[in-house]
Amino acid sequence: MKVIVTGASGLLGRAVYKQLKAANIDVVGTAYSRAKNGLVKLDLANESELEAFIAEQKPNAIVHCAAERRPDVAEKDQEGTRNLNIQVPKRLGSLCKTNNITLIYISTDYVFDGTSPPYEVTDKPNPLNFYGETKLGGEEAIREVNSDAIILRVPILYGDVEYNGESAINILLDSVQNQEKVVDMDNVGKRYPTNVQDIARVIKDLLVKRVDLGEDLKGTFHFTNTECFTKYTICQLFGNLLNLPIDHLKRQDEIPASAAVSRPKDAHLSNKRLEAIGIDTKSVPFVGWWTEYLSK
């Protein structure tokens, strides 16, 4: 099996690339602004460049991790985000259909409004923010051109980062450690932080079933850790592990209506469809992982 991973310089893409390599799968990673460590520089928005690259590599599968994942940035650059999150997946979907390539598209729990969890793959999306709208738009664009594609929705990610800003969870370390800066910290939104190594394992298992074993897997799947936290309770954990007070973090038990970008209150995903096809959905324990990570 030969697999292309787009966005292989990012937090999830790196984990997928490493996981596939460790499984002795022939993997080619692409990146744009951070193309290093053997990754191929590729502008996904350049149609002819993308088409030529796929024709040259002749992969069995593409895992599409590249996206604008930051809701606030998406809101500010709507045209660029629409292109990366909707137009690029549509082109990839079409190219994969034409060339009989398995496509796994990474989507998000933010396609849901967070009012009636847990969400099954059959539940109707209703995104609250522009980022969620574009990721849903990417899903719909792929379904339109390639009904054989796999869409994997995942929640907020964490893991071994190059810098804390790569993850909306890891970056909370900065808030805890910067004792001089008073910050309002959300204690309302329920989050299910999921380690990128676990997601990478699930992606690898899906690829093996679909490509190597020839199982008829397609459509939408959800994968999530089942442990629930708020951003404030995560900061409490980090404070305990680092032996730091968090008095400078002001617990927000209500989110002001003026919040810049709306986020779902509880968009917990259900793992049922993955479990039904025999995929292992266990996750590394959140507290255990951070205890080890912060003791290094």
Instruction: Read off the CATH number of the domain in which 143 is found.
Output: 3.40.50.720
Residue 232 lies in a domain: no
Please state whether 58 falls in left (phi above 0), alpha (psi between -120 and 50) or beta.
left
Exposed, middle or buried by CB within 10 Å (0-12, 13-18, 19+), for 144? exposed
Alpha carbons within 13 A on the beta-carbon side of 71:
18
Residue 220 lies in a domain: yes
Say which DSSP state 169 is in: T
Query: Given this model, what pLDDT does residue 159 score?
Result: 98
Query: Given this model, what pLDDT does residue 213 score?
Result: 97
pLDDT tens, the chain, 296 aa long = 999 999 999 999 999 999 999 999 999 999 998 888 899 999 999 999 999 999 999 999 999 999 888 888 888 999 999 999 999 999 999 999 999 999 999 999 999 999 999 999 999 999 999 999 999 999 999 999 999 999 999 999 999 999 999 999 999 999 999 999 999 999 999 999 999 999 999 999 999 999 999 999 999 999 999 999 999 999 999 999 999 999 999 999 987 765 656 889 999 999 999 999 999 999 999 999 999 999 98
Residue 175 lies in a domain: no
Residue 294 lies in a domain: no
Query: Given this model, what pLDDT does residue 143 score?
Result: 97
pTM for the complete prediction?
A: 0.96
Residue 261 lies in a domain: no
194's enclosing H/E stretch is: strand 194-195
CA–CA gap between residue 96 and residue 148 (Å, rounded) = 9
Residue 290 lies in a domain: no
Six-digit token pair at 91? Answer: 């082109």
CA–CA gap between residue 70 and residue 135 (Å, rounded) = 11
Tell me the residue range of the domain where 150 lies.
Answer: 2-161+195-224+269-283
Query: Given this model, what pLDDT does residue 35 score?
Result: 80
Query: Given this model, what pLDDT does residue 263 score?
Result: 85
According to DSSP, the β-strands at 249-252 and 40-41 are unpaired
- For the chain, the domain total comes to 1
Active site residue: 17, 105, 110, 131, which one? 131
Residue 279 lies in a domain: yes
Please say if 293 is a catalytic residue: no
Query: Given this model, what pLDDT does residue 294 score?
Result: 95
Name which of 121, 114, 195, 116 is nearest 153 in CA terms.
Answer: 121
Query: Given this model, what pLDDT does residue 258 score?
Result: 58
Query: Given this model, what pLDDT does residue 216 score?
Result: 96
Cβ(93)–Cβ(149) under 8 Å? yes
CA–CA gap between residue 280 and residue 253 (Å, rounded) = 35
Q: What is the CA radius of gyration of the chain?
A: 19
User: pLDDT by residue (tens digit) across 170-220?
Assistant: 999 999 999 999 999 999 999 999 999 999 999 999 999 999 999 999 999
Residue 276 lies in a domain: yes
